[in-house]
Amino acid sequence: MMGNGVASIGECMLELSGQTGPNWRMGFAGDTFNTLWALHALSSDRPATYVSAFGDDPFSQGQIAFFAENGIGIGFSPVIPGARPGLYAITLTGAERSFTYWRGDAAARQLASDPTALSKNLENQALVYLSGITLAILDHAARATLLTAVAKARAAGSLIAFDPNYRPRLWRNREDAQAAIVEALAVTDIALPTFPDEQMLFGDDTPQATADRLGHIVREVIVKNGEAAALIAENETLHEVPAIHVAAPVDTTGAGDSFNGAYLAARLAGHGPREAASRAHSVAAAVVQVRGALAPFETLKAAFGKS
């Protein structure tokens, strides 16, 4: 019998955000965690596990406690003495945001250090989610360990969802990123790429080119493209699902991650890809009207039910 849980694998960082002046606000965010946050909010009957590695410092303890308060566990993820989480700060110039990172020695880079624990975390999951950032923070051997564990979960019946989420500065070079992402796509059931990323990484001219290229490897592909329509490739047919225009977005952080979480929640609830994308657009539109990557569960639920 297949499990009921949802698991997301990656790095959740400390997020420092300030308006102006010396006061900073600390939160927790990271692409795969933002997706799990939305997915968990919208399928709260499913056990949710964030699969990573953590330090034993007060910030890691705070992170794990924050997850638990919101119904998200860490399963068998290793807690590594002396390790600590990565950190990033957001600075604003007008409405433009820029990010500064301190993450080179983050605990999450050791998420595949215990292959047995990693495999155990992926057992009995209805869905396992990961991203190109998950791949980028691991060395070559750890990446191979991770993809072996993911393939094993898939063989046992888990749906595997993957967002290539290409961030050039995390990779040694473009060729490494291409190779790792192609390997991950080979064990993927639902791919959730973003067109500008794919254009940068693979040279795709149009969202259709991305959908065609990935459609040969993955059976369900959703190409996101900001405020333009999402393109769904399902069994070799393409459908456009229009996005929702938000006149004055407050903060676009986490919009794509929330789209992914909502799309996957809708698919797990039995909705077809087009209905799932429509709900996901509603959720993304609500998220850009909230500060920070993590919108309140109520906001996400209201948007999800509205489409």
Q: Which residues are catalytic?
A: 257
Contact yes or no for 28/66 (Cβ under 8 A): yes
CA distance linking residue 131 with residue 32, whole number of Å:
7
Taking phi over 0 as left and psi of -120 to 50 as alpha, with beta for the rest, 82 belongs to: left
Closest CA relative to residue 255, chosen from 270, 239, 273, 243? 243
The torsion defined by the Cα of 9, 32, 260 and 93, in degrees rounded to 10, comes to -170
Q: Which class for 196: exposed (0-12), middle (13-18), buried (19 or more C-beta within 10 A)?
A: middle
Strands (DSSP E) contained in 52-170 are 54-55, 72-73, 79-80, 87-93, 96-102, 125-131, 159-163
Q: How far apart are CA 241 and CA 297, in angstroms?
A: 24
Please tell me the distance from the alpha carbon of residue 99 to that of residue 114, in angstroms, as a whole number. Answer: 31
With contact defined as beta carbons under 8 Å apart, do 254 and 163 qualify? no
Residue with structure tokens 């807690």?
79
Q: By the 8 A CB rule, do 187 and 152 touch?
A: no
